[in-house]
Structure 1
Amino acid sequence: MGSITYLFAIAVAAYLFFDQRSRARKARRFPPGPKPLPFLGNALQFPASDPGEKFAEWEKEFGDVVGLTLYGQKVIVVNTYTAAAELLEKRSSIYSNRPQRALFAKYGGWDFAISATNPGELFNLERRFLNQFFNTSAVKRYFNLITKNARRYISLTANDPTRFRDWNRITTAANILSVAYGHEVADENDEWVERTEQAMKSFGVLGPPGTHPIDIFPSQVGYLPFRIWGLKFSEGMKIVQKCAHEMSIVPYKLVKDQVLAGTAVPSLSSTLIENNLLPDKSVKNEKAIYGSAAVVYMAGADTTVSSIDSFLLAMLLYPDIQKKAQRYVDGLLQGERLPTLEDRDSLPYIQAIVKETLRWQPIVPLGLPHSLSQDDTYRDYFLPADTMVIYNLRRLLRDPTEYPEPDQFKPERFIDSDAGQLKLRTDVRDPEDMAFGFGKRICPGRHFANATLWITFATLLTVFDISLAKNEAGEPILPDLQYVNGTVSHPKHFQCVFRARSEHALSLLQSTSDLFDALE
């Protein structure tokens, strides 16, 4: 009997031992994904263009968190808000790093950008500087500027509607350049505006974050001449470096000289320089100052442009929504004035259109990737430190469980009209909880962007009827909804007809433009 008990005890101990080992192995299991190749991992399966569609397909096979490897780099792709919020929001203390981007930061010259740095002294200082100028209260100081440039955009479009996209880019940049540097955009050939376009185009040479060999093996191959990767790459990197210098050091030095000469216009840069000026005329925290201004310059002048173009596309394709929005605007303004940002709470349907535009065509379809600062476990998965986290933002914002008929442009999904008075719903996921990023990486300029979108949309709807262009046969020319993907996604070329709703609306534009000029 004793021997049986002894053998039973050994069997139980063995079972517990092997079960514990099995659980440990299972707990250290990386999320499932497509089968990798030796060394290359899933690099050949990683789509060069529009990877979000492929990621969404993998979700059906592997679940909402898909595991990949790229030349040994661990990557997870997150396809649901639940997983993204749990990791990037609730665990932001360890999910706020950026993947190693030596190509962009160290070799491309953009190491000053908060978007490229990890939490630490520089990151925290830049975030504090940006919050100082772009928090909810601070943004109100720019309402006149934002409104003026929205009306300027619409006036330019009324005069030459064929160039509506040019006017969008110029006047949006005018907002940002005024805030960041006190620079006034005088005309369409402004070199500061052209720098932005060149910089955004230059990033194409970098490829998806973390996929170039220099990003993967920076200490081993980063010191090699760029030309070994081809002439196109070598020349492209020179442009990236040039743009980094021209969008950071050049404007910073100009404003610094103005501050020292007592001629600086109030701006983010001039204020920070004055606040950090030392008795010997040097400036402390210079990198954080010019880095903060450059990020505003680069990001703000491109992202909002994309959303305004997307709004115009929606108005072309959904004329009933346009007419409905115009009825609400007309009901408030009575044709007597143009909208102001103080009207936002009185026009919730326009707020819903802003939210739906951000949802329908996200500015950055894959978000900007995060990285783990230490090992973590999620569900039954083990995620080692330095794992890259890509959140498939387009999939999150088009999740049919969150947003029925996700491909349709439906501002009504955010509106509650049961009580007879329109108000924004609180029981529907707000796209702004995702569109501007997560956790410590949330966009510091989101309040400024939201205000710009709202006043631009409301003013466009007040002044114009927006419709499809027609070909020689009188048939409508439908726009191509396949966007050009880059760091920021933009619509392809499309045509738009702007018809003034009344001569009175146009006269209001001119009179208020004169008023703003008089106030300056």
Structure 2
Amino acid sequence: MASATLYLGLGLSAVVLLVVTNYRVRARKRLSFPPGPKGLPFFGNAFQYPEVDPWEQFAQWEKEYGDVVGLSLFGQNVVIINKHGAASDLLEKRSSIYSNRPQNALWAKYGGWDFAVTAANPGEFFKLERRFLSQFFNTSAVKQYFNLLTKNTRRYVTLISTDPTKFRDWNRMTTAANILSAAYGHEVTDENDEWVQRTDQAMRSIGLLGTIGTHPIDIIPSREFWNPECGQLFYAEQWTVQKCAREMSVLPFQLVKEQVLTGTAIPSITSTLIESHLLPDGSVKHEREIYGSAAVVYMAGADTTVSSIDSFILAMMLFPEVQKRAQKYIDELLQGERLPDLEDRDSLPYLSAIVKEALRWQPIVPLGLAHCLAQDDTYRNYHLPADTMIIPNLWKMLRDPDEFPEPEKFKPERFIDTQSVPPSLRTDVRDPEEMAWGFGKRICPGRHFAYATLWITFATLLTVFDISLPKDEAGNDILPDLKYVNGIVIHPKPFECIFKPRSDHALSLLQTTNDLQEGAE
């Protein structure tokens, strides 16, 4: 009798499981892929995918299809997310299944960037590189770089005072100097530094790859698919990118390793990791993860921060009232007695608001880096198949008028509670940093370093200079072109700027500080 009851229970359980499974399968079949523009057989929406400023077209599609837009590229399912809410629902709350990268044969296999955590799927390699990066760039650890960032920023401002026409060159050199010192202990002494030139070449080569997962080679990765003319072009680009990838990863690692073995290494991320993983035979455990971690710092930080600083300078020219207000707060705190440092952040919330607004006003990575769905999922009334590519349209999210009224204007005040005394940062508005640094497991591990770099750079520039538009012969303002140059990281087109020292005293403070730093060294 007991056996019969047991078999009856098991049978009923099997029937219930079968019914539930069948119901779920049928329900899923009734759900559709998110709506989007109608495509062509086989090609899908490939001919509708914009080559220039795709984020703007994606934002237009939102008006017709909603904030979650479905596309197909040669049979590859793609979902564009245009709102923070949907991005948070999927990329944050469901990060366990939305943290893969799309197939990236062009970037990783052919381009040589397979060592980069940015291209890796979650797993042991991914976890180890992220752990290495967190070790040096968490909120506490990043404070060890404050003196470095402050020193290099003051040198940057000094260089502008001597030759303001090269302000963008000085920006790129200084940003690279911060990264190279932290990652490898390498000191940049001038703009012709070999390592800085290597960075420029590598970032240009990466621009050839486009957004991860969207190139036809990623979708149909067999080389034999491509015709001879296309193949020749592809091979030429491939070797250029591979060469740059090696020069930004393996070569600097090997140099630091030799320095560690001979006892001449300057403390850095790479030297510290090598020393802690050095084996008795002179080899290094987790060598690939170590040089990959340092190279990601090298690659990501040296380009994104440059664009943000250039955008800030544009904003100060175009919105002088913001500049004057920031300078008022700085002057009240410093009283002309010293230059700002990173310990002043809590005392200058308006400067912090400027950093947030700079990240929002011109999103430097407009489409982020694409995610990929690890398994089938259901969202709202949509069915999202496994391997769907997810592209977060950060440009639209950060310029969403529902979140940020008058998004085209540079308004740090949107983040300031003016009713509090003294003014403080608001907590009841959307923080651009919730989007600008990425989502979930893919959030930028170097964000605290980047934020500190931007803050001290903005604060020091505003302490020393009045930043203004150049004028033509008739005395009219020469307005910059705000259409940025496309790429994974976008940059302003060439523009001119006037840097006028606010006073001789400000310059003397800069000179005195530099003399003290040189004496200490």
The TM tier, using the shorter chain, reads: over 0.9
Q: Is the 8 A contact 1:172 1:305 kept in 2?
A: yes
Partners of 1:143 and 1:384 in 2: CA distance: 45
Deviation sequence 1:22-54 (CA, Å, 0-9, x none): 972564311010111100000000001100111
* Counterpart residue number, 1:65: 68
CA displacement, residues 319-376 of structure 1 (integer Å, 9 cap, x when unaligned): 1111111000000001110000000000000000000000000110111100011111
- Asked if 1:41 corresponds to 2:70, the answer is no
Give the Cα separation in 2 of the matches to 1:472 and 1:230.
Answer: 51
**More deviation in 138-147 or 472-481?**
472-481
Query: What is the correspondence of 1:95-494 to structure 2 with a 5 Å cutoff?
Result: 95-218=98-221, 221-222=222-223, 228-229=229-230, 231-494=232-495
Contact 2:211–2:370, Cα closer than 8 Å, also in 1: no
Kindly tell me: are residues 22 and 147 of structure 1, through their superposed partners in 2, closer, same or farther at Cα, counting changes over 3 Å?
closer
Q: Which amino acid aligns with 2:520?
A: L
Cα distance in 2 between the residues matched to 1:85 and 1:25: 23
- Aligned AA (2:90): L
Q: Offset of 1:479 from its aligned partner?
A: 0.5
1:136 and 1:481 map into 2 onto residues whose CA distance is 33
Q: Is the 8 A contact 2:199 2:302 kept in 1?
A: yes
In the alignment, is the contact (CA less than 8 A) between 1:205 and 1:237 conserved in 2? no
Q: In structure 2, what is the Cα distance between the partners aligned to 1:236 and 1:385? A: 31
How far has the Cα of 1:210 moved from its partner?
Answer: 2.1
Q: Which residue of 2 aligns with 1:6?
A: none
2:67–2:82: 8 Å Cα contact kept in structure 1?
Answer: yes
Report the alpha carbon displacement of residue 506 of structure 1 after superposing the two structures with TM: 0.8
Deviations 1:252-286 (A, max 9, x none): 00000000001000000000000000111110000
Match of 1:91 among 91, 94, 108: 94
Q: TM-score normalized by structure 2?
A: 0.94
> Contact (CA 8 Å) 1:41, 1:72: kept in 2 or not?
yes
SS of the aligned residue for 1:74 comes to: strand
Preserved CA contact (<8 Å) 1:94 1:372: yes
Displaced runs of 4+ in structure 1, greater than 3 A?
19-23, 25-28, 222-228, 230-233
Aligned residue-pair number: 502
Deviation (angstroms), 1:405: 0.7
Q: In 2, Cα distance between the equivalents of 1:360 and 1:440?
A: 25
* Offset at residue 390 of structure 1 (A): 0.2
My pick for the range that moved more, 285-294 or 194-203, is 194-203
Structure 1 segment 494-509 matched on structure 2, within 5 A: 494-509=495-510
Question: Structure 1 residues 469, 226: CA separation in 2 closer, same or farther (over 3 Å shift)?
Answer: farther
Match of 1:74 among 72, 77, 82: 77
The aligned residue for residue 15 of structure 2 is none
Distance in 1 between residues matched to 2:410 and 2:310, nearest whole Å = 14
Q: Which residue of 1 aligns with 2:10?
A: none
Alignment deviations for residues 38-88 of structure 1 (CA, whole Å, 9 cap, x no partner):
000000000011001110111111110000000010000000000000100
More off after superposition, 182-191 vs 22-31: 22-31
**Residue ranges of structure 2 left out of the alignment (5+ in a row):** 1-18
Q: Does the aligned pair in 2 maintain the 1:227–1:233 contact within 8 Å?
A: no
Alpha-carbon shift at residue 153 of structure 1 (Å): 0.7
Task: Supply the distance in 1 between the matched residues of 2:184 and 2:25 (Cα, whole angstroms).
Answer: 60
3-state DSSP of counterpart to 2:78 = strand
Paired residues of 2:87 and 2:392 also in contact (CA < 8 A): yes
Instruction: Quote the Cα distance in structure 1 between the aligned partners of 2:205 and 2:403.
Output: 36
SS of equivalent to 2:99: coil
Given the superposition, is the C-alpha separation of residues 428 and 254 from structure 1 closer, same or farther in structure 2, using an over 3 Å criterion?
same
Distance 1:38 1:224, change over 3 A: closer
CA distance in 1, matches of 2:184, 2:291: 10
Contact kept? 2:323, 2:462, Cα under 8 Å: yes
**SS of corresponding position for 1:201:** helix
**1:212 Cα deviation after fit:** 2.6
Look up the equivalent residue of 1:508 and give its one-letter code.
L
Q: Separation in 1 of the partners of 2:337 and 2:227? A: 61
Deviation at 1:421, TM superposition (A): 1.6
Determine what percentage of the aligned residue pairs are the same residue.
71
Tell me the distance in 2 between the aligned counterparts of 1:429 and 1:107: 39
Uncovered stretches (5+) of structure 1, i.e. residues with no partner: 1-15
Does the 8 Å CA contact 2:100/2:122 hold for their aligned counterparts? Answer: yes
CA shift for structure 1 position 208:
3.3
1:88 and 1:96 in contact (8 A); partners too: yes
Say which SS state the counterpart of residue 466 (structure 1) adopts.
strand
TM-score normalised by structure 1 residue count: 0.94
Q: Distance in 1 between matches of 2:185 and 2:394?
A: 34
Q: Which amino acid aligns with 1:32?
A: P
Q: CA deviation at 1:211?
A: 2.9
Preserved CA contact (<8 Å) 2:213 2:219: yes
**CA shift for structure 1 position 383:** 0.7
Aligned equivalents of 1:132, 1:484: Cα separation in 2? 34
Give the letter for the 1:363 counterpart. I
Distance 1:506 1:223 in 2: 62
Distance in structure 2 (CA, Å) of the matches to 1:223 and 1:191: 37
Q: Tell me the CA shift for residue 186 of structure 1.
A: 1.2
Q: CA deviation at 1:235?
A: 1.9
Given that residues 81 and 390 in structure 2 are in contact (C-alpha distance below 8 angstroms), is that contact kept between their aligned partners in structure 1? Answer: yes
What amino acid does structure 2 have at the position aligned with 1:480?
Answer: D
Question: Offset at 1:419?
Answer: 2.6
Distance 1:337 1:226, change over 3 A: farther
Counterpart residue type for residue 186 of structure 2: H
**Aligned partners of 1:78 and 1:389 also within 8 Å:** yes
- The alignment's C-alpha RMSD in Å is 1.8
User: In structure 1, what residue type is equivalent to 2:105?
Assistant: A
